Amino acid sequence: MGRFLLVLRKMAATTIRLSSYLCCLWLIVQVHSVNRDNFKTCEQSGFCKRHRSLQPGQSPYKVLMDSLKISSSQISVQLLNTKTNVRLVLDLYGLQGNTARLKINELEPLKPRYEIPMGDVLVGEPKQQDLKVLDKGSESLTLGLEDNKIVLTFSPFRVDFVAGEEPVVSINAQGLLKFEHFRKKPEAPAEDAAPGEPAEGEEKKEEENKEEEKKPEQEEEPMLWEETFKSFHDPKPNGPSSVGIDVSFPGFENVYGIPEHADSMALKTTKDTDPYRLFNLDVFEYELYNPMALYGSVPVMWAHNEKSTVGIYWNNAAETWIDISSTTADKNFFSKIADLVKGNSEMAQMDTHWFSESGVIDIFIMLGPRPKDVFKQYAALTGSTELPPLFAISYHQCRWNYNDQDDVKNVDANMDMYDIPYDVIWLDIEHTDGKRYFTWDAHKFPSSKDMLNGVAVKGRKMVTIVDPHLKRDDNYKVYADAKSRDMMVKGGGGEEYEGWCWPGSSSWPDFTNPEVRNWWASKFQYSEYDGSTPDLYIWNDMNEPSVFNGPEITFHKDVQHYGGVENRDVHNLYGFYVQKATAEGILMRSNNEQRPFVLTRAFFAGSQRFGAVWTGDNMGEWSHLKVSNPMLLTLNLAGITFSGADVGGFFRNPDSELQTRWYQTGAFQPFFRAHAHIDTKRREPYLLPEENMKIVREAIRKRYSYLPFWYTLFYHGYRSGETVMSPLWVTYPEDKSTFQMDDEYLLGSSLLVKPITEQGAVGTNVYFPGSNEVWYDIETYQSYAGSQSTYINAPLEKIPVFQRGGSIVPRKMRVRRSSSLMVSDPFTLVICLDKQGEALGDLYADDYKSYAYRRGEYIHRVFSFKNNILQSSNADPNGRGASREWVEKLVIVGYPKAATSVHITVDGNSQSLHHSYDSSSRVLTVRKPDVNITKDFSITIQ
């Protein structure tokens, strides 16, 4: 968004002459100098205010047991609002994998309420699991779901989930369920505040009782039928439509998730702040440590304690706010539904309150019980991160902008001259012909294919930016085509919606429409996207969407989408669909052979299936380096594992120390891309002072040497939904001291990373988890005991990274100019022994780029070291891939003594190997086993 100001300046200076336009620009510029004011507080949002003002207490809702319908895996029952007599319907489903789904909708809505189409966010209809009726009493119904109980209490309505004997999730326990049913707009709001017709056949008594209360309640409710924020009016043609309910986590003190916020990993109580907000927005120079909305939204939350991990996914794409508070559990109630409550000690509880502006209540309750279980459960719903092509997890060199083909060529040549590996060079908006995406500036990029082929010779790729706003220029093919097909989103009056973005006056294709997505995808065909080649990949920016002159810099809420849906209903999904359509385009252009790569700024639950996410326009300041770790941990917890922050920071000019530390950090984060604003000084790594350049080069090379490990991690993530960059508690769930730790993290369970994020720091305290563990410095192989903290010296050249004793990490030490030049290079296995002298690890490999692995063309090896024998065996009989890769070296760390002999046995043939021992670091090196990686082999040490 910061780019925005500059472009205005350029536009004003060069092309724009109309004074009215200048006036308009001036207004926007004014607005942007005070960024917080651009965005709504809860107080300025009608439905937020209405829901937040609810007080915990008796819920007006009760379950109408007469209406109960039970099928094998689902119950359906009506809920009555005893104040308004409006009826809702509750559906409760048992799902496979310790998961339940709870849906609440109006029984008879005036028109259907919006629900996200099946297959878009949810990968498909979730597989159901039988529910058993355990007990049906006059006050409650108890259901069994695998080893869990679900207790539905009738009056007031609440649902409790009990895992084993522990209550873990309670819904509507505080009675905050509020469901704004569709209603007819009252003629004169002051006179007739009655909401709709009372349902038939209700007890008169109740109706009368509540009659008096109705009116004052209605009158208090602000901004039901229209609201205004700054100069923007929201006519709300459908009136109030919000939904909200409370979700409590008894027994938990920490909750996580709900990105994207620039905040700590462990979520904070929102008593003294606004609620956490989920509303995809382009926020200029965002502030740190507050609950303001950012570019993306994933309404998933985890609660974790020593005993279990549970969570919910709130399946709603409208603007959503979440209040969080910590309290103590109501033991009286829980003693009735679970045989717990030993002793008198208080039980902690996290209360959360969720409310969305429209749609329905659709909650998935994932009952764990282990961290890795909930990730799998969530992945079963919204999918896992697709296995990225290898280049995508390598180093990316980006800047707004590489000016022209010569610039690209020079950067490429300089990276080689300084021997700094990189895989992808990126082009920002200036590469286009007047911000018309899918085009090239004919003067700066006259022969883009030559340029692409030039970098591709060295195995490199390029990425161009393609944003969703289309310049309203009838001579612009893409716009004219979309316009003639009537594919744009519409304004409230049904006209083609128009707003300002990079190209000036713009319109936006309606990506919520599957036909539009197909049309968009077809634009990436080589025949359509002139000057593109198979080495060109895509970056979607501004897809919140960013509308410079729109309310909160985005669409008006009453913008109309496909199927009579308002942006109000689908706002948080727009960017998701843009990336989905783009990824489909990249996939299609290769006839579904090659894996796509698309980076997006806006995202939603499920975006992990379409590519990578970055944390938007951060700043080149130490605080932003520091916050990148909790932000990426939270994204990982929410399934967006392929994520990163702009290395160096987008805005400002970071000094060489900050750049150095940022590269060191980025080298150990999942998505590793340097990026910079057009106003900043050039900062390609070779421009750093020599000392820093060498350190940065070393950090990037380290990334390349660990690529086999990263690739294997991503494979696991793809298969099981696991995090790539993980909080320590994912691997050490019982270690309370790690629950709020977000400056230190694990990659898989093998590498412990504590990046230096403080200016001038020459060391840091590292916490080594696991009481029985031993950790080894990856450089010196010095060992550290688990379950304690040690001060580690970290002068500028040092990245504190440690390998867990008991793990085997595959590396490639022959770092070349790009990852694809390394695909047939040999592996070095770094075997760090645990206290028993054992270790375990694995390696996944394939062709690193295509979908051939889905036809079994991959290898998955498991390495185990035990009783002085390293065994390599096939981890997956489905993997039948071939490979030229081989094993060149074993580094056995923590080995007690020199060996007398080392033998390798392959196919029954035994051969002795050279070896050496360094007694000071206790490292035994085995020379050149020279065995193809696909082979079973064993290496015996005597």
Partner 1 sequence: MGEYMYFVCFLLVFGVRVNAEIERPRGVSISMASKYEPNNKQTFQCLDGSAQIPYEHLNDDYCDCADGSDEPGTSACTNGRFHCTNAGYTPKNIQSSRVNDGVCDCCDGSDEYEGKIECVNNCKELGKKLREEQDEKRRLHEEGFKKREGFIAEASTLMEGKKLKIKELETEKAEIQEKLKELEARKTEAEGPEKEAKDKHEQAWKEQKDAREKERQAGKAREAFDDLDLNKDGFVDVFEIIPHLEFDIDSNGIVSEEEAKEHLEDHEKVDYEEFSSKIWGNIHSIYKKLVPDEPQQVTPPPVEPQGDTGVPVPTEEPQEESAEEDKMPEYDEETKALIAAADEARKNYEEADKRSRDIDGEITTLTSYLNTDYGKDQAYAVLRDNCYEYTDREYTYKLCPFSTASQRPKSGGHETNLGRWGRWENDKTQVYDHGQNCWNGPDRSVKIHITCGPDHQLTNAYEPSRCEYAFDFITPCACDQHSQPQVKEIRDEL
> Applying CB under 8 A, which residues contact partner 1?
5-6, 9, 14, 403, 419, 443, 457-459, 678-682, 813-817, 821-822, 824-825, 888-889, 927-928
Q: Which residue has the tokens 């230190």?
A: 744
Q: Of the two residues 244 and 459, which places its CB atom closer to partner 1 in the complex? A: 459
SS (H, E, C) 217-253: HHHHCCCCCCEEECCEEECCCCCCCCEEEEEEEECCC
Min. distance of Cβ 814 from partner 1 in angstroms? Answer: 5
Q: Of the two residues 268 and 431, which places its CB atom closer to partner 1 in the complex? A: 431
User: Exposure string (b/e) for 167-193, b if CB count within 10 Å is 16 or more?
Assistant: bbbbbbbbbbbbbbbbbeebeeeeeeb
Q: In 154-211, which ranges are E strands? A: 158-163, 166-171, 178-179
Min. distance of Cβ 404 from partner 1 in angstroms? Answer: 9
Q: Of the two residues 100 and 398, which places its CB atom closer to partner 1 in the complex? A: 398
Min. distance of Cβ 788 from partner 1 in angstroms? Answer: 34
Q: Of the two residues 159 and 799, which places its CB atom closer to partner 1 in the complex? A: 799
Name residue 747's beta-bridge partners.
Answer: 725, 751
Min. distance of Cβ 459 from partner 1 in angstroms? Answer: 7
Q: Of the two residues 632 and 926, which places its CB atom closer to partner 1 in the complex? A: 926
Task: Verify whether residue 541 is a known catalytic residue.
Answer: yes
Report the C-alpha gap between 460 and 424 in whole angstroms: 6
Q: Nearest-CA neighbor of 682 among 713, 648, 712?
A: 648
Min. distance of Cβ 52 from partner 1 in angstroms? Answer: 39
Element (H, E) at 516: helix 514-522
Min. distance of Cβ 831 from partner 1 in angstroms? Answer: 18
Q: Of the two residues 174 and 401, which places its CB atom closer to partner 1 in the complex? A: 401
Min. distance of Cβ 745 from partner 1 in angstroms? Answer: 28
- 745 within 8 A of 864, measured Cβ to Cβ: no
Min. distance of Cβ 792 from partner 1 in angstroms? Answer: 25
Q: Of the two residues 736 and 927, which places its CB atom closer to partner 1 in the complex? A: 927
DSSP assignment of 520-556 equals HHHTTSTTTSTT--TTEEEEE-STTT--TTSGGGS--
- 470 within 8 A of 478, measured Cβ to Cβ: yes
* DSSP SS3 for 105: strand
- 425 within 8 A of 455, measured Cβ to Cβ: yes
Q: Nearest-CA neighbor of 810 among 774, 865, 755, 863?
A: 863
* DSSP SS3 for 715: helix
**274 Cβ neighbours under 8 A, 6+ residues apart:** 41, 42, 291, 292, 321
Distance of CA 606 to the CA centre of its chain: 8
Q: Of the two residues 528 and 679, which places its CB atom closer to partner 1 in the complex? A: 679
Report the C-alpha gap between 927 and 758 in whole angstroms: 40
Burial class, 28, CB count within 10 angstroms (exposed 0-12 / middle 13-18 / buried 19+):
middle
Longest dimension (CA), the chain: 97
Which of 412, 617, 646, 834 is labelled catalytic?
617
Min. distance of Cβ 32 from partner 1 in angstroms? Answer: 12
Min. distance of Cβ 388 from partner 1 in angstroms? Answer: 22
- 783 within 8 A of 805, measured Cβ to Cβ: yes
- What are φ and ψ of residue 665, in 5° steps? -70, -50
Min. distance of Cβ 285 from partner 1 in angstroms? Answer: 12
**589 Cβ neighbours under 8 A, 6+ residues apart:** 524, 525, 526, 534
Q: Nearest-CA neighbor of 623 among 262, 87, 95, 229?
A: 262
Q: Of the two residues 679 and 797, which places its CB atom closer to partner 1 in the complex? A: 679
Q: Of the two residues 425 and 815, which places its CB atom closer to partner 1 in the complex? A: 815
**Cβ of 618: how many Cβ atoms within 10 Å?**
26
- What are φ and ψ of residue 86, in 5° steps? -80, 140
* DSSP SS3 for 778: coil
Give the pair of three-digit tokens for residue 248: 């409590």
**169 Cβ neighbours under 8 A, 6+ residues apart:** 160, 161, 247, 248, 249, 250, 303, 310, 312, 365, 367
- 294 within 8 A of 286, measured Cβ to Cβ: yes
Which of 282, 404, 541, 569 is labelled catalytic?
541
Q: Of the two residues 15 and 228, which places its CB atom closer to partner 1 in the complex? A: 15
Residues assigned a catalytic role: 541, 617
